[in-house]
Amino acid sequence: MKILVPVKRVVDYNVKVRVKSDGTGVDIANVKMSMNPFDEIAVEEAVRLKEAGIATEVVAVSAGVAACQETLRAALAIGADRAILIETSADEADNLQPLAVAKLLKALADKEQPQLVICGKQAIDDDANQVGQMLAALANWPQATFASKVVVAGDKATVTREVDGGLETLELALPAVISTDLRLNEPRYATLPNIMKAKKKPLDTVKPADLGVDVAPRLTTVKVAEPAKRQAGVMVADVAQLVEKLKNEAKVI
Amino acid sequence: MAILVIAEHDNAQLKAATRNAVTAAAKIGGDIHVLVAGAGCAAVADQAAKLAGVAQVKLADAAHYADQTAENLAALIVDVAKAGGYSHVLAPATANGKNALPRVAALLDVAQISDIVGVEGADTFVRPIYAGNALATVKSADAVKVITVRTTAFDAAADGGAASVAPVAAAADFGKSKLVGREITKSERPELTAAKVIVSGGRGVGNGDNYKALLEPLADKLGAALGASRAAVDAGFVPNDYQVGQTGKIVAPELYIAVGISGAIQHLAGMKDSKVIVAINKDPEAPIFQVADYGLVADLFEAVPQLTASL
């Protein structure tokens, strides 16, 4: 069974981004970039399925500028077998929206015929939480979002999902799309020998046009602004003062 | 212009999140119709019909909507949206809404706008990006706007309406997925996303027994819901549906009490719109103090019981 794992290059999750003063976006020049944390979990899960003898090949795919190759190499170092970069211009990459990515992945899935696509539940930059669901819709496949446990047996996947109020378990007929939640697994660190080996693994590049996909954006960003700042708070000396303030000043208890 | 709001419910009760989505729909302007899809859910449709501002309720009652799988729900919504010529399809940004709506958008070949916190016009919306560290205003060029609504950013629509309930035909059963189990965390407390007061614990609490012993009595006194940081969930102190943050629940209560939580970006993304934030932490440098209205640098094992006793 072949597994396709989409990965995204995003601003590292520890970086506190700043909004550009002209309101056109956030300043990501010279900021550390990394693989989206949910995608690391997706790669890890696919590699574990391979180690368990269920998957035969894990293909990592990323869409964006040439620098996304680094993200793909990181996936290869975790254990993916080969990688595909859907290379766009910098301008296209800035405006690459979930629907376009889902269409690119659908076109790739038609070619590669994976039995399973495992993606992250959301990217921590646009916080959209859409691509997996959109891909499942376009491919007419079932989906299991926010997965915290995945069991694949035969032509079925049994997936436990994190939902409001608890957990639910779905049984899906393959091929299917699964999106990962944080508790699915603990991604491994890539070891130095594996990072070296990853440099020799195949990485193909295609263009959106090769896949016959129009990546024109549907949404225009009018402006990006800083959220309202909270007023500076006060430090209280003890519990008695805290209770007094909550009762008389904030009037919340 | 007509707007379709997808009701969130458990086949017996309309969930409060639906009310916030109706308010967002009212800000866009136009006739508001609510779609209730489920099995044996006529009571929910009656509750939806009472919401102020709702012009019509559409009820799709069929066995294959009992579990509200994304596949079946999305196919139905697409049928209803096309037949009704709706300009907007809205759902609350809950686990269900986030699951189904992108599927609807892709089937309609339109973008989806996630987690809106503001309405600037019929085609222009405000939504947080980068864990809430920036607010993007986006304009849609699509004929149908498919939107999920951040519930904490809009007031709940009150009762007072008297809409009619009209049945709609079910779409075909997708059949490639089925629900095989559900484990719902039982709680007597208010629902986290709707609570007026939240008491939340982090890694500093130490373990699950401490969490119970310290935070439950305080929450009881305040009639509060209990929350947690990711660290507390990962360490197994509490189930994962307690998690507040970018990847957990987004809350905005009147009072949020953060106990033993350092205040990582991802946690702040889930609670920084709370009206009053109290932080109790022994580390004076903890980032949580930068957003706290009232900060107390103290050992939580002493401060929390004192606080509970003095209420």
Is the residue at A67 inside a domain?
yes
pLDDT the model gives residue A175: 98
Residues of B in contact with A158 (CB under 8 A): 180
Is the residue at A253 inside a domain?
no
Is the residue at A229 inside a domain?
yes
Q: Residue B75: closest CA among chain A residues belongs to which residue?
A: A137
The token pair at A63 is 């869409």
pLDDT the model gives residue B112: 98
Write the pLDDT tens digit of every residue in B198-256.
999 999 999 999 999 999 999 999 999 999 999 999 999 999 999 999 989 999 999 99
Is the residue at A34 inside a domain?
yes
Q: Do the chains contact at A171 and B180, CB–CB below 8 Å?
A: yes
The answer to whether B265 is annotated as binding is yes
Measure the CA–CA gap between A17 and A209, rounded to whole angstroms: 32
The answer to whether B126 is annotated as binding is no
Q: What sections of A52-146 are H helices per DSSP? A: 68-78, 90-94, 98-112, 131-139
CATH number of the domain enclosing A186: 3.40.50.620
Of B135, B138, B272, the CB nearest to A225: B135
Residues of B in contact with A127 (CB under 8 A): 114-115, 128-131, 246
Domain containing A28 equals 2-248
Residues of B in contact with A170 (CB under 8 A): 69, 177-180
pLDDT the model gives residue A157: 98
Distance from CA of B64 to the nearest CA of A (A): 14
The answer to whether B264 is annotated as binding is yes
Q: Where are the domains of chain B?
A: 2-167, 192-310
Q: Residue B93: closest CA among chain A residues belongs to which residue?
A: A129
On whether the B2-167 domain is CATH 1.10.8.640, my answer is: no
* Percent of chain A predicted with pLDDT > 70: 100
pLDDT the model gives residue B185: 86
The token pair at B172 is 């075909």
Of B114, B138, B182, the CB nearest to A127: B114
Number of domains chain A is built from: 1
Is the residue at A115 inside a domain?
yes
Residues of B in contact with A227 (CB under 8 A): 128, 132-135, 272
Neighbour order of strands in the sheet with B88-92? B112-116, B145-149, B88-92, B2-6, B31-38, B54-61, B164-167
Q: Which of residues 168-197 of A touch B (CB under 8 A)?
A: 168-173, 176, 181-183
Give the pLDDT mean for B135-157: 97
pLDDT the model gives residue A117: 98
Is the residue at A46 inside a domain?
yes
Between A and B, how many residue pairs show a Cβ–Cβ distance under 8 A? Answer: 243
ipTM over 0.85: yes
pLDDT above 90: residue B187: no
Write the pLDDT tens digit of every residue in A49-96.
999 999 999 999 999 999 999 999 999 999 999 999 999 999 999 999
Q: Alpha-carbon torsion A16, A20, A21, A25, what sign?
A: negative
Q: Do the chains contact at A169 and B124, CB–CB below 8 Å?
A: no
Residues in chain A where the model's pLDDT stays below 70 = none
pLDDT above 90: residue B186: no
Calculate the CA B192 to chain-centre distance.
Answer: 9
Residues of A in contact with B277 (CB under 8 A): 230, 233
Residues of B in contact with A171 (CB under 8 A): 177-178, 180
Fold (CATH) for B192-310: Rossmann fold (3.40.50)
Measure the CA–CA gap between A14 and A19, rounded to whole angstroms: 16
